[in-house]
Structure 1
Amino acid sequence: MKIAVIGGTGLIGSQVVDILKAAGHEAEPHALSTGVDLLTGEGLASALAGADVVVNLTNSPTFDDASLAFFRQTMDNLLEAAAKEGVGHAVVLSIVGAELVPELDYYRAKVLQEDILKEGPVPYSIVRATQFFEFMDAVLSWTADEETVRLPATPLRPIAAADVAQAVADVAAGSPLGGTRNVAGADVFPLDELGRITLAARGDKRTVTTDDQAGMFSAVKGDAIIPKDGDDARIAPTRYRDWLAA
């Protein structure tokens, strides 16, 4: 199977390409660095020529309201090109519970991306993941100073990027879902506790203070961004403490 991975040089995309190649598929990474610009459409036709599947792992350069325009334009370009080239399956990666946090521009933009895909001309699959282990350093940096990190007690079920990549690759190699597959990590943590675990594992002596008004995740109400009973989420094997230790 020939699979075009747009955003195929990034954290998730590069691993998706490797997994698909190891499984015997013809997986090709495409990105700005290879001459494919999803925002302008440059290089898309050649990238999708002969492809059975396209996986879109590109991301907005900002998390503000400009992300809405980014996802609208890139999805319009992708679906138009995919339809012209006869691609039979389009896959995107999104966020568990994104529609439940409309206060965040980026989450609204991801919902818009999903909606455009659902309404488009190409059979589709959506993989929704929880927050990546690899992003914890960035989350800590948003509300930190030299002595303290302020974090809300928002429940998260974080997941390793490698497990996300495996989930995306599995979906890309299968038949279109015509729907969504949720994937999440093995354990639920309040974000403030996750911060304490992270700092302790790294020998960082800063103190984590619980502050439900601090940072982006303060906009999340309750357990909105963890899978609920009945979501039929796939639970990944990698545990956060094990990942930190490794």
Structure 2
Amino acid sequence: MKLAVLGGTGLIGSQVVQKLNAAGHEAVPHSKSTGVDVITGEGLEEAVAGADVVVNMTNSPTFDDASTAFFQTSMDNILAAAHKGGVGHAVILSIVGTDQVPDLVYYRAKTLQENLLKDGPIPYSIVRATQFMEFMDGVLSWTTEGDTVHLPSTPIQPIAAQDVSDAVAEVAVGTPLNGTLQVAGPDVFPLDDLGRITLDAHPDGRTVVTDETAGFFASVPGDVLVPKGEARIAPTHYSDWLS
């Protein structure tokens, strides 16, 4: 099977390409560095031509209002190119609970991306993942003031990038879901406790205080970032990933 992986040089995309090729498929990574731009459309038709599946791992470079325009334009261009090229399956990576966080523009933008795919002309699959373990250092840095990290107690169920890429690769070579697969790590943590666990494992002089008004995740209501209903639970525990 031939697959065009847009955003195929990033954290998840590069692992998806590696796993697909190791399984005997022909997965080709595409990104700005390879001459493909999903916003201008440069190189896009050529990238997806002849592909059975388009896997879209591209992401907005910002979490602000510009993310809406990014997903609108990129999805319009990708779906048009894929339809013209006769692609039979389109896959995107999204976020568990993204449609339940209306106060965050980035989550609204990801919901828009999902809806554009659902309303498009190509059979599709959406993989919704929980927060990546690899992003925890970034989360800590966002709300650090001096030696103190301010974090809310928002429940999250972190997943390792390798487990996300496993799910995306499997879905990409399967029959289109025309629906959504949720994937999550095996353990639920309050975000502030997860920050403490992280710093206990790799101490750097910072301490975590609980602050329900701090940072990006303060706008998340309740436990909407934890999957509801059927979900695939990945094997990697956060403690194992840390070590």
TM-score band, normalised by shorter chain: over 0.9
User: C-alpha distance in 2, partners of 1:42/1:147?
Assistant: 45
Pairing 1:111–2:111 present: yes
Query: Residue 45 of structure 1: CA displacement?
Result: 1.0
Query: Residue 49 of structure 1: CA displacement?
Result: 1.1
Q: Deviations over 1:25-56 (max 9, x none)?
A: 00000000000000011101111111000000
Task: Please name the residue that 1:50 is paired with.
Answer: 50
Query: Residue 148 of structure 1: CA displacement?
Result: 0.6
SS in 2 for 1:153: coil
User: C-alpha distance in 1, partners of 2:213/2:146?
Assistant: 19
Pairing 1:208–2:221 present: no
Query: Residue 23 of structure 1: CA displacement?
Result: 0.6
Pairing 1:169–2:166 present: no
User: C-alpha distance in 2, partners of 1:180/1:75?
Assistant: 17
User: C-alpha distance in 2, partners of 1:98/1:108?
Assistant: 7
**Residues 26-41 of structure 1 correspond to what in structure 2 (within 5 A)?**
26-41=26-41
Which runs of 5 or more structure 1 residues have no equivalent in the other structure? none
User: C-alpha distance in 1, partners of 2:217/2:207?
Assistant: 19
User: C-alpha distance in 2, partners of 1:61/1:135?
Assistant: 15
Task: Please name the residue that 2:231 is paired with.
Answer: 233
Pairing 1:84–2:84 present: yes
User: C-alpha distance in 1, partners of 2:101/2:109?
Assistant: 11
Letter matched to residue 8 of structure 1: G
TM-score, structure 2 normalization: 0.99
Letter matched to residue 20 of structure 1: L
Query: Residue 207 of structure 1: CA displacement?
Result: 1.4
User: C-alpha distance in 2, partners of 1:205/1:162?
Assistant: 29
Pairing 1:243–2:241 present: yes
Letter matched to residue 32 of structure 1: K
CA RMSD of aligned residues (A): 0.6
Which runs of 5 or more structure 2 residues have no equivalent in the other structure? none
Letter matched to residue 44 of structure 1: L
Query: Residue 147 of structure 1: CA displacement?
Result: 1.5
User: C-alpha distance in 2, partners of 1:213/1:198?
Assistant: 21
TM-score, structure 1 normalization: 0.98
Which aligned segments of 4 or more residues in structure 1 are displaced greater than 4 angstroms?
none
Task: Please name the residue that 1:124 is paired with.
Answer: 124
Q: Deviations over 1:48-80 (max 9, x none)?
A: 111000000001011001100110000000000
Q: Deviations over 1:120-166 (max 9, x none)?
A: 00100000000000000110011102321000000000000000000
SS in 2 for 1:27: strand
Letter matched to residue 109 of structure 1: A
Query: Residue 184 of structure 1: CA displacement?
Result: 0.3
Q: Deviations over 1:174-221 (max 9, x none)?
A: 010000000000100000000000001002232110000000000011
User: C-alpha distance in 1, partners of 2:8/2:45?
Assistant: 16
Letter matched to residue 62 of structure 2: T
Identity %: 70
Aligned residues: 243
**Residues 173-212 of structure 1 correspond to what in structure 2 (within 5 A)?**
173-212=173-212
